[in-house]
């Protein structure tokens, strides 16, 4: 039974690492086709929220539903496979597999995990490489690519899983300013195509331009959640105001 | 030259001994190296399962074989295994001989010794794997098993190759201790020759050169393997 029509439904999740409670009751709904940015100070639990959505981190308390998957009830990696098929993730450190070429990185999981046909996957992978404008780098290894190029390959790898949702975890934080642009360009394209995206980011301008909704987290809580214009121009919570005052 | 007398080297009997010794040394080293790598892989793999009692067994095995002198292990293997009473009848002579020859005992003990070191090398290779790479594989839906074979093992193999080179060269040199339990390898025949000829220094110099050459082949091959396996864009990769 789904409690709402949202694609992602998070209700009252709590998570502790040891004695430190990172998430103190997070609730968040994301509709299909929506792009939600999560911003907030370091250590406020932003990345942890993403990792709870695709089950990388088990939660202590609460409810998480993604599509038809009740994530909080899943226990084994095997049970989570359909969920991981539906939800892809892109990381701050790219995390490409260093022993495989760009093209192979994109093709590996669809073939090895989803069991898709190799020829069809290669076709898909080459199209995705073209989409992130890296066709000529198909046979390069991650170590031979710049940070921005690696990150775009990582986005293509996520897309190759044909997910309904992509989670972006501070994907531009490790990049230099010029390459940030090319990665953000790619993400913007995806949002415009209607892919559901949850983005943890420090790029305020990007959050404002691209997202449909911005959530501000502080000390394990979502303090404020609003459409970007409202959020940036007229923040309600004093903590949001303070944070925005520091970063803008 | 330098007062060294190598005239004994022209004796075909000594040439035969040296050649047999070299071949036996190579055979012993090759056998125990292969077995050590297999033991290392199986042990390291067992450790990744995180089963309490299995961990305990593997760790005990590693501690015992890593923390005791290989010479003691070899003597121990020789005197326990050969006195177990396992005998077979040699079809060619009709005599009853121990099932496990000195050579077999030496192979077993060297394999276990090298295997214990290899487990440690592979384990550290797997443990130094960046957590984030594992997270990426998990997020792509890899199960534990396929994640190990498709992602972790290929990366870990490259991380622990230098350590493995050290283990294999050491194992090669440790085969010389098999002479103590009468395995007729290079060191054993060297002893035979200088007991015969009293040309101790000459024999030792020659044997030293032979070991240097043989072990160099191992290190050369491993260096080639390391270069071949290197990730392009990292370390020795082009």
Walk me through the domains of chain B, giving residue ranges and CATH numbers: 7-80+98-229 (1.10.3720.10)
User: What is the pLDDT at residue B85?
Assistant: 63
Share of chain B above pLDDT 70, in %: 92
- On the question of pLDDT at A1 being above 60, the answer is no
Nearest by CB to residue B231, choosing from A109, A112, A143, is A143
User: What is the pLDDT at residue A76?
Assistant: 85
User: What is the pLDDT at residue B235?
Assistant: 61
User: What is the pLDDT at residue B231?
Assistant: 85
Nearest by CB to residue A144, choosing from B133, B146, B233, is B233
Query: Is there a contact between B141 and A161 if contact means CB atoms under 8 Å apart?
Result: yes
CB count, 10 Å around CB of A28?
A: 21
- C-beta of residue B136 within 8 angstroms of C-beta of residue A98: no
B211-237: average pLDDT: 88
The arrangement of secondary structure in A8-247, i.e. its CATH architecture, is 3-Layer(aba) Sandwich (3.40)
- On the question of pLDDT at B175 being above 90, the answer is yes
Closest CA to B159 of B132, B135, B127, B133: B127
- On the question of pLDDT at B55 being above 70, the answer is yes
Tokens of A196: 């559901």
Residue A97 DSSP SS3: coil
Residue A28 DSSP SS3: strand
Query: Is there a contact between B133 and A95 if contact means CB atoms under 8 Å apart?
Result: yes
A101-125 tens-digit pLDDT: 999 999 999 999 999 999 999 999 9
- C-beta of residue A66 within 8 angstroms of C-beta of residue A86: yes
Return mean pLDDT, chain B.
90
B76: closest CA of chain A, how far (Å): 43
ipTM: 0.91
B59-78: average pLDDT: 94
d(CA A231, CA A226): 5
A40 vs A178, higher pLDDT: A40
Half-sphere exposure of A174 (CA within 13 A, CB side): 14
Q: How far is Cα of residue B233 from the mean position of the Cα atoms in its chain?
A: 31
B80-137 tens-digit pLDDT: 887 666 666 667 777 766 778 889 999 999 999 999 999 999 999 888 888 899 999 9
- On the question of pLDDT at A12 being above 90, the answer is yes
Residue whose pair of structure tokens reads 């020789």 in the numeric block? B78
User: What is the pLDDT at residue B237?
Assistant: 58
Tokens of B221: 């091959």
A130: closest CA of chain B, how far (Å): 21
User: What is the pLDDT at residue B49?
Assistant: 84
Task: Give the least confident one: A34-48, A157-171, B97-111.
Answer: B97-111
| CA–CA–CA angle B146, B147, B148 (5° rounding) | 90
User: What is the pLDDT at residue B238?
Assistant: 52
User: What is the pLDDT at residue B215?
Assistant: 96
Selected for mutation to probe chain A from B135, B138, B141 (highest A CB count within 10 Å) is: B141
* Residue pairs between chains A and B whose CB atoms are closer than 8 Å: 78
Q: Which residues in B206-233 are b (16+ Cβ under 10 Å) and which e?
A: bbeebbeebbeebeeebeeebeeebbbe
Nearest by CB to residue B142, choosing from A113, A143, A144, is A113
- On the question of pLDDT at B79 being above 60, the answer is yes
Query: Is there a contact between A143 and B237 if contact means CB atoms under 8 Å apart?
Result: yes
User: What is the pLDDT at residue A221?
Assistant: 92
Most confident among A3-12, A117-126, B228-237 (mean pLDDT): A117-126
d(CA A244, CA A236): 11
Task: Give the least confident one: A46-55, A215-224, B91-100, B187-196.
Answer: B91-100
d(CA A110, CA A131): 18
- On the question of pLDDT at A193 being above 90, the answer is yes
What is the 3-class SS of chain B, one letter each residue? CCCCCCHHHHCHHHHHHHHHHHHHHHHHHHHHHHHHHHHHHHHHHHHHCCCHHHHHHHHHHHHHHHCCCHHHHHHHHHHHHCCCCCEEECCCCCCEEECCCHHHHHHHHHHHHHHHHHHHHHHHHHHCCCHHHHHHHHHCCCCHHHHHHHHHHHHHHHHHHHHHHHHHHHHHHHHHHHHHHCCCCHHHHHHHHHHHHCCHHHHHHHHHHHHHHHHHHHHHHHHHHHHHHCCCCCCCCC
Return mean pLDDT, chain A.
92
User: What is the pLDDT at residue A75?
Assistant: 85
> Which residues does chain B have within 8 Å of residue A17's beta carbon, measured at their own beta carbons?
none
> Which residues does chain A have within 8 Å of residue B237's beta carbon, measured at their own beta carbons?
141, 143
């Amino acid at each position: 039974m789904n409690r709402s029509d949202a694609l992602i439904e998070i209700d009252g999740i709590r998570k502790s690492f040891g004695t430190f409670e990172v998430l103190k009751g997070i609730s968040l709904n994301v509709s299909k086709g929506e792009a939600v940015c999560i911003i907030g100070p370091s250590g406020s639990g932003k990345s942890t929220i993403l990792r709870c959505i695709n089950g990388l981190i088990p939660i202590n308390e609460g409810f998480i539903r993604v599509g038809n998957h009740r994530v909080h009830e899943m226990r084994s990696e095997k049970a989570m496979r359909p969920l991981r098929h539906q939800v892809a993730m892109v990381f701050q450190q790219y995390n490409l597999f260093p022993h495989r070429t760009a093209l192979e990185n994109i093709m590996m999981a669809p073939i090895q995990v989803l069991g898709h046909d190799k020829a069809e996957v290669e076709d898909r992978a080459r199209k995705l490489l073209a989409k992130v404008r890296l066709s000529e780098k198909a046979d390069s290894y991650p170590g031979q690519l710049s940070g921005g190029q690696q990150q775009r390959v990582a986005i293509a790898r996520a897309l190759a899983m044909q997910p309904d949702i992509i989670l972006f975890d501070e994907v531009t934080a490790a990049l230099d300013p010029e390459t940030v642009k090319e990665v953000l360009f790619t993400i913007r394209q995806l949002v415009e195509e209607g892919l559901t995206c949850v983005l943890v980011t420090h790029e305020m301008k990007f959050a404002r331009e691209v997202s449909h909704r911005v959530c501000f987290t502080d000390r394990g809580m979502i303090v404020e959640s609003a459409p970007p214009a409202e959020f940036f121009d007229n923040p309600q919570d004093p903590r949001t105001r303070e944070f925005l005052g520091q970063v803008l | 030259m330098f007062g060294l007398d190598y005239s004994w080297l022209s004796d075909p009997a000594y040439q035969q001994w040296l050649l047999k010794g070299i071949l036996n040394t190579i055979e012993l080293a090759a056998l125990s190296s292969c077995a050590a790598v297999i033991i290392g892989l199986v042990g390291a793999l067992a450790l990744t399962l995180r089963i309490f009692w299995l961990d305990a067994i593997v760790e005990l095995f590693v501690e015992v074989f890593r923390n005791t002198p290989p010479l003691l292990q070899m003597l121990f293997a020789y005197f326990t295994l050969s006195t177990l009473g396992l005998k077979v009848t040699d079809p060619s002579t009709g005599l009853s001989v121990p099932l496990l020859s000195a050579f077999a005992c030496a192979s077993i003990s060297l394999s276990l010794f090298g295997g214990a070191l290899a487990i440690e090398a592979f384990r550290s290779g797997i443990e130094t794997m960046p957590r984030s790479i594992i997270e990426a594989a998990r997020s792509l839906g890899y199960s534990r098993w396929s994640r190990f074979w498709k992602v972790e093992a290929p990366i870990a193999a490259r991380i622990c190759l230098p350590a493995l080179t050290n283990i294999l060269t050491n194992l090669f040199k440790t085969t010389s201790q098999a002479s103590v339990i009468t395995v007729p390898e290079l060191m054993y025949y060297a002893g035979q020759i200088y007991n015969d000829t009293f040309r101790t220094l000459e024999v030792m110099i020659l044997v030293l050169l032979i070991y240097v050459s043989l072990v160099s082949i191992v290190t050369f091959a491993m260096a080639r393997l390391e270069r071949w396996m290197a990730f392009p864009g990292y370390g020795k990769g082009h």
